[in-house]
A and B are shown apart, each in its own frame.
Chain A
Amino acid sequence: MLKFLSKIGDYTKETIQSARYIGQGLAVTFDHMRRRPVTVQYPYEKLIPSERFRGRIHFEFDKCISCEVCVRVCPINLPVVDWEFNKELKKKQLKHYSIDFGVCIFCANCVEYCPTNCLSVTEEYELSVYDRHELNFDNVAMGRLPYKVTEDPMVTPIREFAYLPEGTLSGHDLPEPAKRAGQLPQDIVKTLK
């Protein structure tokens, strides 16, 4: 009889314990309801891309020397460099240059290895089109600069987590001169001198 009663006691204790755990869980979910939404209301709000962001690649036609390094370092030999040897100038003359951004993986190896810096990465990531062939950018399309998020009057720019002041968790409703946490690269350079 005593054993039976102690069993019942243990069972009751366990039940109360699990009920308390569920109560704690409910408190956590309830607490989440009063927090500000972390979501970014794209396309009305957009995150400012990080300075290391690797977006669509920008190309400057006049700087290119048609060396094809970009093709060799590309994981899938994606850039198409169409050039012709000009016998009078004894120089390669670039006719067309194109990258298909439907295939590109945005590793930016080409940017890294380009000897004349004619390639660079932009902040552009909105690459949706109705036909995949529209993503095959030629040198004219690649020469265009994207619209900056911070300059678009239709968009509220939101800072990414790494660019927030210390202790701030949300990029919404930031005070205007809020400086990011830690030292800026130029400050670090000063201390090195």
Chain B
Amino acid sequence: MNPGIDLQGSFIELLTSIGLPPGVAKAVWMPLPMLLMLVGATIGVLISVWLERKISAAAQQRIGPEYIGPLGVLAPVADGLKLLFKEDIVPGNADAALFTLGPILVVIPVFLSYLIVPFGQNLLISDLGIGVFLWISLSSIAPIGLLMAGYASNNKYSLLGGLRAAAQSISYEIPLALAVLAIAMMSNSLSTVDIVNQQSGLGILGWNVWRQPVGLILFWIAALAECERLPFDLPEAEEELVAGYQTEYAGMKFALFYLGSYVNLVLSALMVAILYLGGWDFPIPLNLIASWVGVSETNALFQVIAGAVGITMVLLKAYFFIFLAILLRWTVPRVRIDQLLDLGWKFLLPVGLVNLLLTAGLKLTFPIAFGG
């Protein structure tokens, strides 16, 4: 396997050649990808908010934002700026400390999970050994923040919303983890880079969708529930709970919740792309194209193009799933709380277990196709 471009290595090499000690060079490098990822995630959120508004409008035969920038692309920026300038209100009888801590606890783990999202062989912040499970464990911190926000607001709607969010997150984490477990079993690793590498080589045919179709559906349903997207947006069901745990929030604290929910959606879509659609893998293997054209794989230009194609592929696949989530939002009505828990515990959990068992059996019988 071709290692691809190594930005970190060449950057540190450049600094050490100037005369910096290697330790300092590494320290200079470290904040760069983190900052890039933070900015990238925020821009991803702005794009998905804009897409949400435009696609929602199209599904309802409207036009949507039109005059705020070309095609209304600046509408989410205007939303954010408005929230930034709004007064920061803490309700009189609320627990001020918990009230402030709630949104922070919701947002930070989501951003932290971007640590393991790869856009290429070396284009990620950190290739951790526990990889995907870091994401799953971090995503279970968010309900603590939601519960905290709901409890601290001193409002019955908020409390109910917080409790629902906690119940929903806990019950959908299990099918999510089971779906990921089946993937991890096939690729013999939890690292996201290893998972993608295991899928690459055969182009579109090698992707996990073909080996884990049930797992993909399972994962996507559970991920939608984790993100509190529309068929499962019970914690903030506006007809019953005003806005759930967000009821008492305004200004920047509300913006944090809003940002968190969209960052989480983008993250989930990215994870689907990585786990099931081969991450940065092009539908036709790039080295095959290189050999057709007659370019060496170590050619610098080819490497740069391959890297760019990889990033584009990840984003395309992720945004396809965001599009699907938005389309689902206008297609499927909200489920009741009992239907939600039924679906989680009585349908997704047994299906997830059977899927895991089947994967294990197939792995034993066909070790070539299912990662021996």
- A residues apposed to B, CB below 8 Å: 15, 22, 25-26, 28-30, 32-33, 35-39, 41
For the complex formed, measure the closest distance between the CB of A30 and the CB atoms of chain B, giving whole angstroms: 6
A128 to B332, CA, bound (A): 39
Q: Which residue of B lies closest to A19 (CB)?
A: B217
Partner-contacting stretch, out of B22-30, B56-64, B232-240? B56-64
A30 to B62, CA, bound (A): 14
Q: Chain B 59-71, CB within 8 Å of chain A: the 1/0 string?
A: 1111100000000
| Structural contact, B61 and A22, CB atoms closer than 8 A | no
Residues from 328 to 369 in B contacting A, C-beta threshold 8 Å = 328, 330-332, 347
16 extra A-B contacts, CB within 8 A, seeds A15-B347, A26-B327, A26-B328: A22-B332, A25-B331, A28-B331, A29-B327, A29-B331, A32-B58, A32-B59, A32-B60, A32-B61, A33-B58, A33-B59, A35-B61, A37-B61, A37-B62, A39-B63, A41-B63
Residue from A30, A38, A41 within 8 A of B327 (CB atoms): A30
What CA separation (Å) do A39 and B61 show in the bound complex?
7
Q: Which residues of B contact A35 (CB under 8 A)?
A: 61
Contacts of A26 in B (CB 8 A): 327-328, 331
User: In the complex, which residues of chain A have a beta carbon less than 8 angstroms from the beta carbon of B55?
Assistant: 33
Residues of B within 8 A of A33 (CB): 55, 58-59
Main DSSP-derived SS at the A contact region: helix
- For residue B327, which residues in chain A have a CB less than 8 angstroms away from its CB? 26, 29-30
- Interface residues of chain B, those whose CB is within 8 Å of chain A, are 55, 57-63, 327-328, 330-332, 347
Give B16 Cβ to nearest chain A Cβ, in Å: 53
Report the bound CA distance from A65 to B324 in whole Å: 68
A22 touches B331 (CB 8 A): yes
Complex CA–CA separation, A135 to B46 (angstroms): 43
CB distance from B350 to the nearest CB of A (A): 10
| Complex Cα–Cα for A30 and B323 (A) | 11
B332 touching A38, Cβ below 8 Å:
no
B-chain residues with CB within 8 Å of residue A32 when the two chains form the complex: 58-61
- In the assembled complex, the Cα of A25 lies from the Cα of B55 at a distance in Å of 16
B residues in contact with A37, CB < 8 Å: 57-58, 61-63
In the complex the two chains form, what is the Cα distance from A25 to B332 in whole Å? 8
Q: Beyond A22-B331, A22-B332, is A29–B59 a contact (Cβ under 8 Å)?
A: yes
A-B contact pairs, 17 of them (CB 8 A): A15-B347, A25-B331, A26-B327, A28-B331, A29-B327, A29-B330, A29-B331, A32-B58, A32-B59, A32-B61, A33-B59, A36-B61, A38-B61, A38-B62, A39-B62, A39-B63, A41-B63
Interchain CA distance A129-B59 in the complex, whole Å:
35
Q: Which residues of chain B are within 8 angstroms of A30 by Cβ–Cβ distance?
A: 327
Minimum CB–CB distance from B133 to chain A (whole Å) comes to: 29
Considering the chains assembled together, what is the distance between the CA atoms of A41 and B64 in angstroms?
11
Residues of chain A within 8 A of B331, CB atoms compared:
22, 25-26, 28-29
Q: Counting chain B CB atoms within 10 Å of each CB, which of A29, A32, A38, A41 scores highest? A: A29
C-alpha spacing A28/B330, complex, angstroms: 10
**What's the least CB distance linking B328 to chain A, in Å?**
7
Which of chain B's residues have a CB closer than 8 A to the CB of A39?
61-63
Residues on A with C-beta less than 8 A from B61 are 32, 35-39
For the complex, what is the distance from the CA of A41 to the CA of B332, rounded to whole Å? 29
B68 to chain A, nearest CB (A): 15
A142 and B331 alpha carbons, distance in the complex (Å): 49
A15 / chain B contacts, CB cutoff of 8 Å: 347
Residues of B near A38 (CB, < 8 A) are 61-62
Top-5 shortest CB links A-B = A25-B331, A33-B58, A29-B331, A38-B61, A37-B63
B60 contact set on A, CB distance < 8 A: 32
Question: Looking at B59, B328, B347, which has the most chain A CB atoms within 10 Å of its CB?
Answer: B59
Closest to A170 in B: B61
Nearest Cβ distance between residue B285 and chain A, in whole angstroms? Answer: 31
| Residues in B whose Cβ lies below 8 Å from that of A22 | 331-332
A58 to B55: give the CA distance in the assembly, Å.
Answer: 44
Chain A residues, Cβ within 8 Å of B330: 29
* Whole-angstrom distance between the Cβ of A170 and the nearest chain B Cβ: 10
Closest chain A CB from B217 CB (angstroms): 8
Cβ distance B343 to chain A, nearest Cβ, rounded Å: 11
CA distance A29 to B59 in the complex (A): 6
Provide the bound-state CA to CA distance between A184 and B330, in Å.
Answer: 41
What residues of B have a CB within 8 angstroms of the CB of A25 in the complex?
331-332
Docked Cα-Cα span, A22 to B327, in Å, equals 11
Query: Of all chain B residues, which has the CB nearest A34?
Result: B58
Whole-angstrom CA separation of A29 from B57 in the bound complex: 11
Query: In the assembled complex, which residues on chain A have CB atoms less than 8 Å from the CB atom of B58?
Result: 32-33, 37
Shortest C-beta distance, B310 to chain A (Å), equals: 29
Q: In angstroms, how far is the closest chain A Cβ from the Cβ of B218?
A: 12
Q: Which residues of A contact B57 (CB under 8 A)?
A: 37
**CA distance in complex: A35, B61 (Å):** 7
- A residues less than 8 Å from B347 (CB atoms): 15
CB neighbours of B328 from chain A (8 A) = 26
How far, in Å, is B332 (CB) from chain A's closest CB? 6
